[in-house]
Structure 1
């Protein structure tokens, strides 16, 4: 579980020693079972760590011109070696050396060749130029900061904040957070620190500002052919990918298993490759909010071992500050906590887990993707009447039945859809954000994305928005960071560009139907996964915060609101009123309240300095007991 941090600077303007001292704090604070490495060149610095017992060649390589650092996993390294001149011999699938050799021939095209999750840095010392790239979907993070004198990059936002010396909140990013429940890229909540977009590389050279070039983006190219063709293609590609992602002779591999079809398909295919696969599940005692029973039933039918964890409300809330510390920025997705716990349990038994993230975005799995069908009736109403209906509905009392349906049906998709989660409208935020800016809108994030797919079917447009926002900002962020926080590597076979290329060719009507989502993936899974999973309605990852905020977590919530020092940014009276209304049962405001609470705890962790997790977390990982 490595980290890296580095910089490009002008020696005359920045003291070499000060820069290295600031940056190496991040590396020095990482897990103690790693070896730290530092590369100092004129104008260039890189610090990184490598797990003891792991070959450095897998992370770093240099020759007479290039320094290459690779953080991540590549699942097609052997195929990449075929592209290299036959006279050049590389022992083993060492990605940094492969990239260095390919870069001489293919230049930046090499980034698109890689299948896997990665962030990488190339220092061209002859031309004094840095290249950095992030994987296609954004599994691995890559942060940066640029000013007139210095350019800093890191796998963790903490590394850059240490260099800057303070964590200053970006009001614009905060305003977006309360729309999305996460900070959408390229923003972070820290002023001056940004994230490189997925499928993007940058070039930074002397006396030139940073340039960003998109080397890959999702496109849809539907082919209308027989359903059975797609069933066969999906089965073949998923079995191929599960095999590739399980290829590691020296590591113990297991699977996350929920009650859904995505993880069950991965487990079923993994069982064909490795008979004694272990699976891991998590749930709650609250009735209706646990998939453990279903996961255990699935494991029994597949004849695989299942290890389950039940989380109490007390355990849940106790881990929130540490989880936020691991994530760098606030993420108000309640499923972060169970994911942390299941990763923690899995880390006692295996080194790598396979998981089903990405299937919903690629194959049309979210229930909201059926909305265009349910709203189709509005297409037959003249635009002028639709506008009148919308104005009428907006003046109805909040909880009048049908109000939301009319507003959604009369509002164009590009004006209402910002991804799978939407917390607050801009007009709502005026009531509680002290730095609210009427010139800032979530449409600044989604508008350009909609423009790219304006001629696609509405479901494809929704998929595209989710792939470019929700997927990298929430789903992949929590999966990668919270598994890494527990010293375990997560691999996601659906998050493969070749799987996407197949999914992008499948027509919308085979993904989402009147009766179900992920239709063609379910058909491809028939006979592979148990029947009780095949047509189960998607629930997401249910977490009972709606109930807990009224009872078990009510005292904790009130304490966080009272003690957090966020008055500069948030109107606390608004939050307290929201909580009171929720507790009276007049409406379900649990997700909106949760968005406030997570920001408040983030503020306590990073601004107020109420917690310190570095040393504690290092000791936990180093003292792991394997079962």
Structure 2
């Protein structure tokens, strides 16, 4: 795992030094940059890299790296798990054993597109083809590794993170992308290719960006293909096939020349990963974070019990609300984007704990989406079984949601009355109701463009049921730009590589081929997954209630965090007041305090948005024109 950067712009030494400094935390083991000549450019192209050495710790893994024929250059962040298999197809004389060299020589032999169709891994990469004067950027199929880019005055700049792009001299006056603000308030994150920063884009998962240095044109297109294959075996055969596939994925992802650990919660997913890791390695340590036994969200004791049953070493750390207050601004700064996911806070301390004894950790993240582990999938399944609830006459049921305090019930009611998948899914994802968005002075336009994009790309078939369509979208959009994004940013702040075996492409393709009733029904979720877990986990662990890496944030808002919340949400001079209606924020805050409704999810999203704005937006106030645009869209 590393940091990458590149630009077709001319950078002076001071700017380049600032870029490398801003990437240093991602790759503390070595740094490198190359000035690459191109017949289509008057000045050299810059490729830069900071290295966290995982495989082949020698200098032969140093980057940027060139191919044997000197045609190709690469700066690469990630891991290729099948690189030994790929290497066996090549006849090159290799300098070392790194997966980067294998990847580069495979590209040199077979080309970028064929290579992307055959590699199994997590990655964000850039390659320069000196013969054709082309630069290619690629992000893995599930977006485990992010890559940002900016094209200003026809010049391309890219990086693993946003700050190196700023350090290079671009976007010194950082301004808000008004069009993305509504997406954030609807989804609690901004789906690729957009970000909240004007001029900064995030490459979609499973996509390739081609930039032509000769004519300065760029094209982004998908290299992922939708699979419509159907598993034809029995339930028990599915269990055996899945066990073998996931076990192979864990075994491949244990390959490392540095220590490997496991992030362990109280749930079944991380317990399965820990159990399979224990089968393939005797040297495994698990790591857990919690908030103390007085909070039901604390997972330390249950995780410790799991570790004891599996016979692995276990380490835990406890954090308190005051400690989290002190760290939240730093967390938001490191994530570089606001997210409405409270688990970014415990993850900050979990990665620090794990880094003390490991450089690589396996995580159970990414399993709920392919297996249908969230309640919204069961709501969608109910609508499939009772299709009359999609009739437009039920749209008025949304008004009944005000009678309920339960957030899942409110969102479920908002899904009624919509036959169109994109509208229905958008309501299922919604963080704020239309009325609440109106209070905030924001229009109620759903992020249907992103939803429709993924529907058309991966789920546009009558053979795929609506519930499965939602699961496929979430596996590429929700995961990549929310959960996996903060995992990468938080962990790499401490130079820790997080691997996610559940998102092995072969495993996900297998799971997506299973019949829906092998995955979820109205009463239970992850059916084959749970059945497989019985091979090595007791029933008590398999049937533990889902906690979802939650934080008692709603309770803390009314006590320990109250002053902090009011200072960062209600103070009159905050930048958030230039984009959102401050009276609306106050109303939501007071309704939470009085217990009228649990607005903890919404308040955390607003809090991280406010903290992010204070750090990332320029000190210039939002113009009256853009403010008027917000208000007029809210009144539409």
- Is TM (by shorter chain) over 0.5? yes
Instruction: Give the direction of change, closer, same or farther, for the CA distance of 1:267–1:395 in structure 2 (3 Å limit).
Output: closer
Q: Distance in 1 between matches of 2:79 and 2:282?
A: 24
* Matched residue, 1:169: 176
Displacement of 1:404 in angstroms is: 5.9
| In the alignment, structure 1 residue 358 sits paired with structure 2 residue 366 | yes
| In the alignment, structure 1 residue 180 sits paired with structure 2 residue 173 | no
Greater mean alpha carbon deviation, residues 97-106 or residues 290-299: 97-106
Deviations along 1:180-231, one digit per CA (max 9) or x if unpaired, are: 1112111111101101111111111121421112111443432232111111
Instruction: Give the direction of change, closer, same or farther, for the CA distance of 1:220–1:543 in structure 2 (3 Å limit).
Output: farther
Deviations along 1:517-573, one digit per CA (max 9) or x if unpaired, are: 000001111121222111233231221111111111111100112163322112122
* Matched residue, 2:347: 339
| In the alignment, structure 1 residue 580 sits paired with structure 2 residue 587 | no
Displacement of 1:121 in angstroms is: 1.3
Q: Answer yes or no: is the 8 Å Cα contact 1:137–1:198 preserved in 2.
A: yes
Instruction: Give the direction of change, closer, same or farther, for the CA distance of 1:316–1:56 in structure 2 (3 Å limit).
Output: farther
Instruction: Give the direction of change, closer, same or farther, for the CA distance of 1:608–1:150 in structure 2 (3 Å limit).
Output: closer
* Matched residue, 2:575: 565
Q: Distance in 1 between matches of 2:247 and 2:469?
A: 28
Q: Answer yes or no: is the 8 Å Cα contact 2:32–2:62 preserved in 1.
A: no
| In the alignment, structure 1 residue 190 sits paired with structure 2 residue 183 | no
Instruction: Give the direction of change, closer, same or farther, for the CA distance of 1:407–1:244 in structure 2 (3 Å limit).
Output: closer
SS of 2:50's equivalent?
A: strand
* Matched residue, 2:629: none
Deviations along 1:99-136, one digit per CA (max 9) or x if unpaired, are: 33322332121112211111111111222211121111
* Matched residue, 1:122: 127
Q: Distance in 1 between matches of 2:178 and 2:278?
A: 49
Displacement of 1:591 in angstroms is: 0.9
Displacement of 1:451 in angstroms is: 3.7
Q: Distance in 2 between matches of 1:225 and 1:186?
A: 38
Displacement of 1:73 in angstroms is: 0.9
* Matched residue, 1:49: 50
* Matched residue, 2:97: 93
Q: Answer yes or no: is the 8 Å Cα contact 2:3–2:24 preserved in 1.
A: no
* Matched residue, 2:252: 244
Displacement of 1:406 in angstroms is: 4.7
* Matched residue, 2:291: 284
SS of 1:289's equivalent?
A: coil
Q: Distance in 2 between matches of 1:395 and 1:269?
A: 48
Q: Distance in 2 between matches of 1:236 and 1:445?
A: 34
Q: Distance in 2 between matches of 1:270 and 1:418?
A: 37
| In the alignment, structure 1 residue 303 sits paired with structure 2 residue 311 | yes
SS of 2:309's equivalent?
A: helix
Displacement of 1:284 in angstroms is: 1.4
Aligned residues: 592
Greater mean alpha carbon deviation, residues 216-225 or residues 253-262: 216-225
Instruction: Give the direction of change, closer, same or farther, for the CA distance of 1:294–1:588 in structure 2 (3 Å limit).
Output: same
Q: Answer yes or no: is the 8 Å Cα contact 1:419–1:470 preserved in 2.
A: no
* Matched residue, 2:610: 600
* Matched residue, 1:83: 89
Deviations along 1:308-330, one digit per CA (max 9) or x if unpaired, are: 11210111121111111111111
Deviations along 1:334-379, one digit per CA (max 9) or x if unpaired, are: 0111111111111112121111111112222223211134345642
| In the alignment, structure 1 residue 390 sits paired with structure 2 residue 395 | yes
Q: Distance in 1 between matches of 2:486 and 2:331?
A: 9
* Matched residue, 2:622: none
* Matched residue, 1:138: 143
Q: Answer yes or no: is the 8 Å Cα contact 1:324–1:330 preserved in 2.
A: yes
SS of 1:538's equivalent?
A: coil
Q: Distance in 2 between matches of 1:97 and 1:276?
A: 28
Instruction: Give the direction of change, closer, same or farther, for the CA distance of 1:17–1:351 in structure 2 (3 Å limit).
Output: closer
Greater mean alpha carbon deviation, residues 530-539 or residues 405-414: 405-414
SS of 1:140's equivalent?
A: coil
* Matched residue, 1:621: none
* Matched residue, 1:60: 64
Instruction: Give the direction of change, closer, same or farther, for the CA distance of 1:158–1:228 in structure 2 (3 Å limit).
Output: same
SS of 1:112's equivalent?
A: helix
Displacement of 1:396 in angstroms is: 4.5
- Provide the aligned C-alpha RMSD in A: 2.3
* Matched residue, 1:367: 375
Q: Distance in 1 between matches of 2:154 and 2:448?
A: 33
Q: Answer yes or no: is the 8 Å Cα contact 2:138–2:209 preserved in 1.
A: yes
| In the alignment, structure 1 residue 25 sits paired with structure 2 residue 18 | yes
| In the alignment, structure 1 residue 262 sits paired with structure 2 residue 269 | yes
SS of 1:90's equivalent?
A: coil
1:184-583 equivalence runs, <5 A = 184-205=191-212, 206-248=214-256, 250-285=257-292, 286-376=294-384, 378-380=386-388, 386-391=391-396, 393-396=397-400, 398-399=402-403, 406-412=413-419, 413-418=421-426, 421-426=429-434, 428-433=436-441, 436=442, 440-452=445-457, 453-454=459-460, 455=462, 456-561=464-569, 562=571, 564-583=574-593
SS of 1:319's equivalent?
A: helix
TM-score under structure 1 length normalisation: 0.89
Q: Distance in 2 between matches of 1:397 and 1:536?
A: 29
SS of 2:193's equivalent?
A: coil
